[in-house]
Structure 1
Amino acid sequence: MNKSHTFNFNSENFNRIFPFYILLNEHLEVESLGNSIQKVDGTLKKGVYFPDYFSLVRPHSENISQEILVDNLSQLVILESKKQSEFILRGQFEPMENNFLFVGSPWLMSVEEIKTRKLSIFDFANHDPLLDLLQILKTQETTTQELKELLRVNNEQKNALKTDREELNKLSVVASANENAIVFTHPNAQIFWCNDAYLRLTGFSREEIMGRTPIEVGLTESTDREALQKMMDLFYTGESFDVEITHGRKDGSYFWTRTKGQPIYDDNGNVLQYFAMIEDMTEVKEKEEQLVLLSLIAEKNINSVVICDKEGQIEWVNSSFEQMSGYTKEELIGQKPGILLQGPDSHPETVTYLSNQIKKGEPFNCEIVNYSKSNKKYWVKIQGQALYNNWGEIVRFFAIEEDITDKKLLESQKEVLLKSLAKSNKELEDYAQIVSHDLKSPLRSINSLVAWIKEDNEGALTEQTTQYLNMIEDKLEKMDHLIQGVLTYSKIDKTDIAKENVNIHEVVSNIISIIHIPQHTKVEIKNTLPVLKADRFRIQQLFQNLISNAVNYIDKEEGLVSIDVEEAKDCFIFSVRDNGPGIAEENQEKIFKIFQSFSKSEKSTGLGLSIVKKIVDNYGGKIWIESELGSGTVFYIKLYK
């Protein structure tokens, strides 16, 4: 519970001020109570459960709970005793740390009731209006006229006291609840009360503030001495003041304030105390500084800036807008930009779009052709929106316009180049197909001739001749693989990638079952490989090239190739590990380049890893290796989910 003030009383002093008080703990058990209430109800003692003794008449509730008390803090409540007939208390509950404090007095309707309760003048606080009635008992011997006069005076005093108290309560409530900081000072400027807002703004505790002057609390190096002197002069002459001035915080920083002070006079016209309201103006000052800064930025901005009123007529433009449009500021003020700057090549749909967005007060962002004062056509990118006041009404429009004429020219040139490139790529692809066909045709013929020579001269050929013919067949096979590899490589980024759910585990298992694996080599899949959205054929090309390379070049008596995967948040990282000869560090970047082979194998074309790299790149992935000569190689492939 929030605590506004801290007061230190001993039980005797507190009982003197509130003789009918009751202090409850969080379980609603009586912790302490006033002497006078014990006199009325002797059964009400420390430790008893309060709801067993009282019910709420206002607000009505038979059973009192902690929630009900919390909901009615600082409000008038009326309690009726369950033990004492027609014994009613009126007052209010206030939070005290984790406890509830009731302060009030009996609601007595007659002098006879006071006598019945066996109460005397000493059982009431001096400020209690019921003392008026007790005073009557003491002065019963006075004459009727004196009694009437006394009652009149007492009633007037009571009403005046009540009025003052109500006003004070209202002022206290308003001041405490005010979002602005409120302080009260003595005529010597020493603070004797402040609200929580002042503590929050300054960072000081109440103890650190009480007894000090606002200047002692808030003076900083940034304080405007002229404004400070003005405020002091008005204060010490008993006048009200209204100044904008900085106020320091406990941590050494400061905030801007608007400080208003008002003297409070007694009946004799002397200053009784000062009331000051301190409004935090930091945000306002920052906005003012931002406005100045934005004005400078807008003026110096290389892009054009225009501000229009709610009717769409130009109020202000920067120098860039003048230069781009060719009009002076004087010529532009009062004009509507669309009517002035749009022309024959301004796209009608864009013009309509701008008009509709402005009518609806919604942001707009588009590109349009404008015309300068000299009728020169230029492209602009326009971004703008409406500006609203605190009531949601449109007060202005602003827009930033960027000259994108050169950009549009480049886009046009780029489009022409892309069309030309697409045509060239198609021609190259057709050429690759033709070359592939034209090269394969004589290769097939040569292969057939060699086969016929071997068949027709079986047994007649010398061992060396047979060896030469076998070499020719090997070269023909390598040439065929090379041509097929070149064709595959050229097609990888020209084919639309079909996306389907591909079971990588199934694809790799099929590869292991169809490729030739020497008897001394073992190929294993360590963990279950995932399903990936990709093109099945490309994935098979990728892993078949990697696994075939690993199998073909192992030089150990017992070869081992392992395929594994690790899952990350947005990707899978596959690995193909072998215990082959390894790759020298200086060659590890080169192996992915086309026609680069560092193997002594006659079957190597230098295209396999180039194809792998191109497939991975086409998927936006990454491939890298870790290798050491004599210890083997690991290929890592990152593919996004």
Structure 2
Amino acid sequence: MMLSPQSFNEIQINRLFPFYILINKYLNVIALGKSLNKLCDFHKPQNINQFFSISSPQTSIKSFNDLISLQDQLIVINLSSDKNLILRGQLEYMEHTDEILFLGSPCFSSIEQIAENNLAIDDFAKNDPLVDLFYGAQNNTPKNEGFVEDEEVLAKLEKKNSLLKVENKDDYDRPLFSKQSLDPNIRIDFQGDLMHSNSAASHLEFITYEGKTYLIHLFYKLIAAIIDEKKEKWSFEGSANGKDYSFVCLAFHKEGYINMYARDVTKQKKYQQELEKLSIIVKETMNAVIITDVEGNIEWVNKAFEEFSGYTFHDIKGKSPGSFLQGKETDLETIAYMRQQIKDSKPFSCEVYNYNKTGKGYWVKLKGQPVFDENGKTINFFAIQEDITEIKINQQLLQGSEKKYRDLIDNTQVSHLQRT
């Protein structure tokens, strides 16, 4: 897929990062590096959650802002087409095009893995540590002749490659066990002995897991003991030092170790608990409640909303409320006002004429409020709709009665003047 010149030079980016992934603001993968294309057979845009999952830091991507927030840290992703294909790198937000660029490289530790994926030396950037597998295995003589496929030569290369694994692995371990990372990253062997950890992990002395608290070295033994050899990835939650953590474990059976990526989810857990408490309240309220994402797409509605509108949550999940509630009698200025307030992450209050599923109109008093995370970033919109149809009808009846009364007075005065 060719990229517009306004975004970046495709030839240049392929030369430096041939395994890049380009993502637009709608969370669609719109382009891949030339080498990653060989692994994925990518033909058309698709949602990132169908294309890959992020294993470190463990997170779910629901909005474009979720991706932007992951800048300046190590990202580990697993491709959906092949769970054994793991990429490590970082995300970069390109403000001028409103796109996210993943810059990284696959996690291969042997010549065989590269050969199995039909890759050659020219498929890697010159500064990629994986190039050392080629150069070092071929007597440190740089060549650009592609990958040698002869079985006898492969055997010799693999013998030499085994001597390079430790050195090559260290290149990958540097970002994984970076002192700058705020999240604990840990590597243990299959006996549960610690091999590597970063600074954040060194502060862990106890881990509470499934209601029991373990000394950290015994916790590592437990993880090694309960590992499912059929799985290469699994996750769980635990707590330590007053914080909640989400762990993702990746087992590298051939290499003989397990990588554990922990992410501090204390604030997210607190927010989730508060949201659950709030949901209990709003479920039972008589007013309709809608929660949308930052793009204005519905994430949740309560029972009262379903009764008001006639739509079930299944009918409208992921849709914009205005796409099915508004109609010909809905005031355009009111619609424009709400859209602008949402765009500016500001609260709003107005009266709106909506339509239910059968096409019947009804009036609501609508109050909307943005929801912010601990960093002040808008993550949701929360709106309450109060049915004021009866009030509006009574107002119209009253206005009609007042008009009739005024007409009657006017007619009486005219009759009196005519008699005099």
Q: TM-score, normalised by structure 2?
A: 0.37
> Larger relative contact order (C-alpha < 8 A, sep ≥ 6)?
2
**Higher CA-based Rg:** 1
